[in-house]
Structure 1
């Protein structure tokens, strides 16, 4: 089954999720919201965010690449499918990625 995740979809973190789907979606949301190098003792976790301050036409493929690699590395229970982009009307140039994944139960 396919699911969509956004970094904004992260509300309250629940530890020890018993539901696999909820656990995977929460992990991906945390991954999308975390800048690589900011987690003590786990510096490689997160996105490198090399796409920051790039023109939109360059940032989009960079985001797709970084998200795909991060999901493959840190959440093996999910398969990356694609990234859809919305632009924040109140903040020109701000992209809001929505990641579509398939979860292996």
Structure 2
């Protein structure tokens, strides 16, 4: 069942559940989730120049995934720079991962 905002309360597979969890982790500012203050990523890096922001966000994204969704084994983190819309300078993380065995 898909709820408003694209959230599934009953994912059909473990992969779908992990993808949903990664999307949630990467969209939350650290400390903003009630009762789960460790969830999310720090957004302070976003005010840095683009090369610095990419480097710092890469580390923050990797750390957040390792700590908060251990079923995901990250193979690659890339950033898409959205410069075509009104959100010029927006970094969008693209994560390639596989599910951990076991």
Deviation readout 1:5-61 (Å, 9 max, x if unpaired):
xxxxxx511124241000001000111111111111111100012211110010001
Within the candidate set 64, 70, 86, 1:70 is matched to 64
Number of residues of Structure 1 aligned to a counterpart in Structure 2: 95
Question: Partner residue of 1:100?
Answer: 96
Q: Gapped runs of 5+ residues in structure 2?
A: none
Q: Distance in 1 between matches of 2:9 and 2:62?
A: 24
Query: What corresponds to 2:32 in structure 1?
Result: 38
In structure 1, how many angstroms separate the alpha carbons of the residues matched to 2:81 and 2:12? Answer: 34
Larger radius of gyration: 2
- Encode CA deviations 1:67-90: one digit per residue, 9 max, x unaligned: 100000011111122211221122
1:59 aligns with 2:53: yes
TM norm structure 2: 0.84
Give the TM-score of the pair, scaled to structure 1: 0.82
* 5+ residue gaps, structure 1: 1-10
Q: Distance in 2 between matches of 1:56 and 1:29?
A: 22
Q: Distance in 1 between matches of 2:10 and 2:55?
A: 34
Alpha-carbon distance between aligned partners in 2 of 1:87 and 1:48, rounded to the nearest angstrom: 19
